[in-house]
Structures are given as structure tokens and as C-alpha cells.
Amino acid sequence: MRKDRMIGLGTLTAGLLLAGCVAGPAPIVIYQDQLHSVRLIFDPEAGAGHSHPAALTAEQIAQVLRGVWVKHRDIVGGFGLFGDKDGVPAFSLTHVARLAPYVSQALSRASGKDMVTFYVITGDPSRGKLVTSGGLFVRQDRLYFILANAYTSPSSVQYENTYEIDTRDQPLLPIVRYKFTAGFSPQEAWIPNSKVRGTESYERYVDEAKLLVIDLPRLFAQPHQPVSPQESSPPKPRP
């Protein structure tokens, strides 16, 4: 598969994302139930290695998750007339509370060749099962965060996908590409992709809008801001 079809970050190969089969150790399950999964996966493109194990507390991970937001965009025209003007949280407070301790544990157990992945299923009355998934790793004092899916229906139709697919074992696979863009608050801790593009730990993402690079010292130096119930609500279902 051509390099321009790869989902990179200096970590992900097209085979991992699109075929789901890369030679290496089996994933290590940190936590799994019917609705949530946190795993360690072997990263064949880790290069010199990530800065693992990493000591980030559950509260620090929660601060990261609370800061991730998404804006929906129409597939054909970018944001266009159908895109969201304001971002909405990528994770509800329930998701944050469930994921944070296990992501923290996973980072503490990870080797320099591992990436932490997460997978969350949310039920919606009108759209049914929705998937939020992705992965993350630490390089020096930066956290690289991939949000592959955000409240995405497994039966979304785009390109060759005309049926519901099960991506629990492929959390880095975007079910629908170019459906949303990810962002991070506070702005001071969000490093623009242009500043890290071309470095060892970064390679162009097929949709860079789903890659966040977070300056951890700046983030944790920020005073904690409580999240209002409105801010913590998941995105409204979209047709």
C-alpha cells in the first residue's frame, strides 16, 4: 500500500490500520468489558522507542481526556455549510472516569515499542452503537494522541464500507475518514502539527486533523478548570 495511504505519526503503518495484521506480540489487555477496552499494542514504527514506561497519574490522564474536543465536518466540502462551528467534548465524564486509571496503568507498563489504545462503545437511541477509539504514546515531554473515531457509527457508509464492521481489535482504524477534526484545550498546551511535522516521532497522518500533540509540562502547569455538565455532554447525534 502506498505511503500516502498510511496513518503515520511515526508509529502506524497502513497494514496495522487497514489490514489489522502486523507481525509482533499479541496485544496486552489492560482492561476490557463489553463497552470499554484499553490495550497495549506493539508499535512496529516506534523507531528509537517511545518514552515508556511513562508515569502519568489517572488524574493527569483525565485532564488530557477532558481537554480533547471534536468538530464535525461534512465529507465533501470540509467544514462547509454542514460543519460544526463549536467543538464538543470527545469524551463524556463517564468515559473519562472509566478510561483514565487504565490508560495510566497501561502507560506505566508500556515498553518503548508499545502504544496504548482505547475503544469505547456508546449507545444512542436513534443511531444505535457508536464508537470512540484511538491511541496514544509519549515522546519526551509530549503526548501524541490519535482520535481515530468519535461517536462514529460502525455502519457509517463511506468508500467501501456499506455494512457494519467490528473494529474493537483495530482501534486505530477510522471507520469514516474526514468526518471530524480534533482539537485540544487549553490552547497553550496544544502544539500545532506544523511544528512537529518531519521530526522522528511524527509522520504525516492520512487525516492530520485527528492527531493532537500535547505539551505535558504546559498542560499540567495550567490551573484545573472544572467541567460544566453542558461541556461534558457527548456530541449530539448526527444523521
Q: What is the phi/psi pair of residue 34, to 5°?
A: -65, -25
CA distances from residue 42 to 47, 112, 126 in whole angstroms, order as listed: 12, 9, 36
- The residue among 170 and 45 whose pLDDT is bigger is 170
* Per-residue model confidence (pLDDT) at position 215: 97
Give the pLDDT confidence of 12-53 residue by residue, as tens digits. 433 344 434 455 789 999 999 999 999 999 998 788 899 999
226, pLDDT greater than 60: no
Let me know how long the chain is: 239
Give the pLDDT confidence of 104-151 residue by residue, as tens digits. 999 999 999 999 999 999 987 877 889 999 999 999 999 999 999 999
pLDDT tier for residue 177 given thresholds of 50, 70 and 90: confident
Mean of the per-residue pLDDT values of the chain: 78
Residues paired with residue 118 on neighbouring β-strands, in sequence order: 38, 134
3, pLDDT greater than 80: no
Give strand ranges (E) for 17-156: 28-32, 36-42, 68-72, 88-89, 114-124, 128-139, 142-152
CB-based contact 63:184 (threshold 8 Å): no
CA distances from residue 1 to 13, 16, 148, 158, 159 in whole angstroms, order as listed: 9, 11, 19, 19, 16
80, pLDDT greater than 70: no
pTM: predicted TM-score of the whole model, two decimal places: 0.79
In the numeric block, the cell 486509571 is attached to: 101
CB-based contact 15:172 (threshold 8 Å): no
* Per-residue model confidence (pLDDT) at position 164: 61
55, pLDDT greater than 50: yes
Q: Which of 142, 116, 138 is nearest to 195 (CA)?
A: 142
Query: CA quadruple 18, 142, 47, 198: dihedral positive or negative?
Result: positive
**Secondary-structure breakdown of the chain: helix, strand, coil percentages, each rounded to the nearest 5:** 25, 30, 50
Collapsing DSSP to helix, strand or coil, 208 comes out as helix
CA distances from residue 202 to 106, 113, 181, 185, 212 in whole angstroms, order as listed: 22, 15, 18, 21, 11
Task: Compute the distance between CA of residue 100 and CA of residue 62 in angstroms, rounded to an integer.
Answer: 5
pLDDT tier for residue 2 given thresholds of 50, 70 and 90: very low
Residues paired with residue 81 on neighbouring β-strands, in sequence order: none
